[in-house]
Amino acid sequence: MGVNLPPTLRRLLGIPVARVGLALMALVLATALLGPWLVGRDAWDLAGPPLLWPGQDGRFPLGTDSLGRDLAAGLAGGAAVSLAIGIVSALIAALLGTLIGAVGGYYGGAVEHLFGRVTDLFQTVPPFILAVVTVAALPPSLTSVVVAIGAVSWPATARLVRTRFLVLRESEFVLAGRMIGMGDIRLITTQILPSVLPPIIVLTPLTVGTAIQTEAALGFLGLSPPDLLTWGKMIGEGREQLLDAWYICGLPGLAIMTTVLAFNLLGESLNRLMAAGAREGR
Amino acid sequence: MTGAAAIALTRQGLYRLGYNLLTRILPIVAGVACFNLLIMHVMTGDAADVLAGNAGGATAQELARLRHEFGLDQPFAQRFLGYLWAVLHGDLGLSQTQGVPVAGLILARLPTTFLLMGVSLTFSLLLGVGLGVLGARHPGGWTDGLVSGLILTLYAMPSFWFGLMAIVLFSVKLGWLPSGGLDSLEQVPEGWAWAADRLKHLLLPGLTLANFHIAVYARLTRGILLDIEREDFVRTLRAKGASAGRILLFHMLPNAALPILTMVGLQMAALFGGSVVVESVFGLPGLGRLILDALLSRDMTLLTGILLVSSVMVTVINLLLDLLFFLIDPRVRSGAGMSPDRLGQEGE
């Protein structure tokens, strides 16, 4: 798969699913970047009367929560937080997974056995419970949440990378590289990694989607960073008013769903693009 | 199969289970134990601090005595071996806030969590396989499109949110189902009425926990069915004039059972984690609620104990699934994979 963007983007736009995904992604990005400015109100401000339903008051198009905070401001502010946590922790997971998978797969033998066991361990421990325990043990902060989610999200990438490395390390171009005296690190990074990169790129949007959901569930249980208003936290706090004002929980949930769907569709379309590329190449 | 052969097979299967228990549970226990000690180590303040804090402060001497009592002043390796030894004897330590053995607290909550997981797994498999079959009937048709859309939606939907919205719709607006708890508050009926009442309480939580997994099994089943359809044995059956329903039910789905059950094992960790959130939504007295309580009181012995027990449970369930494969599927017994010609033989 070529990395030069314009042709890739053009081919991506040829897939209907990708068009929906990119449109949703644009919506989420616009909300994160322009939303706070458009709403023009701080998410924490007790700005109006409490428990206004969406559409009830023109000044608060999406209503207010039990403290009179503007839900539109909360949703817009939450978008940036969700995206940041999701993307950064997925990148950590991709890096960690690539490193563990590459080293295990390249060296094989005892190293591969050990790293494989560690990966197995992380796939056996319920990831969400592990994330909860990690966040609880670390001081409450944005970094703790990102680290916890990153630490539970890498095994899928590690497995993928390891399998590819196990195959590629026996291939002719790697043997040739070894013959002319390339070192291990050079072989791994300049020879094998480039051909493993496309599947990693396909997997990463899906990891972002899962990470955003994990963050939302942590927030729902009250484990969000204390100084940030996240979508999960909004749902957790809105639970108290579920019977009278379900929209307080309903709207952030729709936001989470839209964002996760955008990333999943992107991953799915990249996957199709790669499959189509493989067919053409054959 | 004769009786003697069945007994021999069962004995063989049990040996296999015993061997796997030793070789697969031990590393898991050691790994999680290591992680647990590490977590306790990096944590701001240890068990002695928490106890002292609960007691309203303590002198430096008192703290040192407590640390010595808990063995916190020993070197890491010694503490690790001590913890491992205790864990292998079923001792997970005392709860920092309640002062009772953690193992007992956890065991008391496991049945509820298992019940929820069981109900949820049943929903996931029934609805997931059903949707997968529907999607595979006319690939690319409108039913397939609908199924694909539903799968994408279920993948993206936060389960706890689905649970809350289901409470609003089915409990509050329609009044059909209870919104939480395990039993009705009024006098508990007995026998079948009790079971029906229990099931009614588990319907929404089960479905909430299932929604992600429905998507997983639907996608998997659809893929497998589309693959199997190209096999020779299916073509032969069609040529012989077997009905589509008969081919699906007696020939294609049995062949899909092994990968689907393998997926059940792979999803077990996610199912366990999901139940934490779902129990909190519906106020079910299971492991998830115990985790919430432990979080509020920052009871790390309890939290790490739960992490260990849930990991061991995931492994045990996987080993039982492995035993099941071994007993029901001759291909696993002979160590052979799922080669097409073998699939063909079984189809006849």
Whether residue A244 contacts residue B172, with contact meaning beta carbons closer than 8 Å, is answered with no
**pLDDT for residue B44:** 52
Q: Which of A28, A128, A269 to mutate to test the interface with B (most CBs of B within 10 A)?
A: A128
Closest Cβ opposite residue B152 in set A117, A129, A264: A264
pLDDT, tens only, A197-242: 888 988 999 999 999 999 999 999 888 888 888 898 888 888 888 7
Q: Where in the sequence of chain B do the CATH 1.10.3720.10 domains occur?
A: 102-333
Residue B208, Cα to own-chain centre: how many angstroms? 14
**Surface of B (284-313) touching A: CB under 8 A:** 291-292, 295, 298, 300, 303-304, 306-307, 310-311
Residue B101 forms beta bridges with which residues? B94
Structure tokens that stand for B342 in this block: 């073998």
Whether residue B2 contacts residue B293, with contact meaning beta carbons closer than 8 Å, is answered with no
Distance between CA atoms of A130 and B119, rounded to whole angstroms?
24
Model confidence at B112: pLDDT above 70: yes
pLDDT (mean) for A49-57: 71
Chain A residues touching chain B at CB-CB below 8 Å = 117-118, 120-121, 123-130, 132-134, 136-139, 209, 213, 216-217, 220-223, 232, 235, 239, 242-243, 246, 249-250, 252-253, 256-258, 260-261, 264-265, 268
pLDDT (mean) for A120-126: 88
Query: Domain spanning B102-333 has what CATH number?
Result: 1.10.3720.10
**Surface of B (264-283) touching A: CB under 8 A:** 266, 269-270, 272-274, 276-277, 280
Model confidence at A259: pLDDT above 90: yes
Q: Do B153 and A261 touch (CB under 8 A)?
A: yes
Distance between CA atoms of B127 and B209, rounded to whole angstroms?
13
Structure tokens that stand for A280 in this block: 């053409």
pLDDT, tens only, B38-87: 887 766 555 566 666 666 666 777 777 777 766 666 777 777 788 888 87
User: Which span out of A140-144, B45-49, B227-231, B344-348 was modeled with the highest average pLDDT?
Assistant: A140-144
Distance between CA atoms of B100 and B36, rounded to whole angstroms?
19
**pLDDT for residue A239:** 85
In angstroms, what separates the C-alpha of A143 from chain B's closest C-alpha?
15
DSSP 3-state helix, strand, coil percentages of chain A (rounded to 5)?
Answer: 75, 0, 20
Q: Which of A115, A124, A212 to mutate to test the interface with B (most CBs of B within 10 A)?
A: A124
Model confidence at A159: pLDDT above 70: yes
Instruction: Report, in angstroms and rounded to the nearest whole number, the Rg of chain B calculated over CA atoms.
Output: 25
Model confidence at A57: pLDDT above 60: yes
Which chain A residue has its CA at the smallest distance from B288's CA? A129
At position B211, the amino acid (one-letter code) is N
B64 or B165, higher pLDDT: B165
Whether residue A191 contacts residue A165, with contact meaning beta carbons closer than 8 Å, is answered with no
| Secondary structure element (H or E) that encloses residue A195, with its range | helix A193-220
Cα B262 to Cα B22, B31, B217, B240, distances in angstroms: 21, 23, 11, 32
In angstroms, what separates the C-alpha of A140 from chain B's closest C-alpha?
11
Cα A132 to Cα A136, B50, B196, B298, distances in angstroms: 6, 19, 34, 12
A9 or B29, higher pLDDT: B29
Calculate the average pLDDT of chain B: 81
Whether residue B321 contacts residue B264, with contact meaning beta carbons closer than 8 Å, is answered with yes
pLDDT, tens only, B215-237: 999 999 998 888 888 888 888 88
For residue A20, give the nearest of A261, A278, A275 by alpha carbon.
A261
**pLDDT for residue A71:** 77
B183: left (phi over 0), alpha (psi -120 to 50) or beta: beta
Distance between CA atoms of B267 and B214, rounded to whole angstroms?
11
Calculate the average pLDDT of chain A: 84
**pLDDT for residue B1:** 55
Q: Do B164 and A256 touch (CB under 8 A)?
A: no
A175 or A68, higher pLDDT: A175
B68 or B296, higher pLDDT: B296
Concatenate the DSSP letters of all residues of B182-196 into one string.
Answer: SS-SSPPP-HHHHHH
DSSP three-state, residue B286: coil
Residues of A in Cβ contact (< 8 Å) with B280: 220-221
**pLDDT for residue A216:** 92
Whether residue B291 contacts residue B279, with contact meaning beta carbons closer than 8 Å, is answered with no
Q: What is the ipTM of this complex?
A: 0.86
pLDDT category of residue B343 using cuts at 50, 70 and 90: very low
At position A64, the amino acid (one-letter code) is T
Residues of B in Cβ contact (< 8 Å) with A20: none
In angstroms, what separates the C-alpha of A174 from chain B's closest C-alpha?
30
Q: Which of A225-229, B181-185, B261-265 has the lowest mean pLDDT?
A: B181-185
Distance between CA atoms of A257 and B306, rounded to whole angstroms?
30
Which domains does chain A carry? 26-272 (1.10.3720.10)
A82 or A71, higher pLDDT: A82
Closest Cβ opposite residue B277 in set A117, A221, A252: A221
Contacts of B309 (CB under 8 A, 6+ apart): B92, B103, B106, B110
HSE (side-chain half, CA atoms, 13 Å) at A227:
6
**pLDDT for residue A206:** 92
pLDDT category of residue B271 using cuts at 50, 70 and 90: very high
Model confidence at B338: pLDDT above 50: no
Distance between CA atoms of A112 and B41, rounded to whole angstroms?
28
Q: Do B155 and A249 touch (CB under 8 A)?
A: no
The answer, for B250 touching chain A at a CB cutoff of 8 Å, is no
Model confidence at B186: pLDDT above 70: no
Residues of B in Cβ contact (< 8 Å) with A220: 158, 160, 277, 280
Length of chain A: 282
pLDDT, tens only, A203-214: 999 999 999 999
For residue B258, give the nearest of B320, B344, B317, B331 by alpha carbon.
B331
Between helix A109-124 and helix B300-328 the angle, nearest 10°, is 110
Which chain A residue has its CA at the smallest distance from B265's CA? A124
For residue A37, give the nearest of A64, A69, A73 by alpha carbon.
A73
**pLDDT for residue B184:** 67
Between helix B253-282 and helix A127-137 the angle, nearest 10°, is 30
Closest Cβ opposite residue B307 in set A123, A125, A261: A125
The answer, for B39 touching chain A at a CB cutoff of 8 Å, is yes
Closest Cβ opposite residue A136 in set B28, B165, B298: B298
Structure tokens that stand for B288 in this block: 């998830």
Concatenate the DSSP letters of all residues of A47-103 into one string.
Answer: -S-TTPPTTSBTTBTT-B-TT-BBHHHHHHHHHHHHHHHHHHHHHHHHHHHHHHHHH
Q: Which of A104-108, B127-131, B195-199 has the lowest mean pLDDT?
A: B195-199
Which chain B residue has its CA at the smallest distance from A263's CA? B156
Exposure class string for A112-126: b at 16+ Cβ within 10 A, else e: beebbebbbbbbbbb
Closest Cβ opposite residue B274 in set A125, A128, A264: A128
**pLDDT for residue A5:** 59
The answer, for B196 touching chain A at a CB cutoff of 8 Å, is no
pLDDT (mean) for A69-74: 78
Cα A181-A182-A184 angle, rounded to 5 deg: 125
Distance between CA atoms of A234 and A240, rounded to whole angstroms?
11
**pLDDT for residue A131:** 92
Q: Which of A113-117, B96-100, B343-347 has the lowest mean pLDDT?
A: B343-347
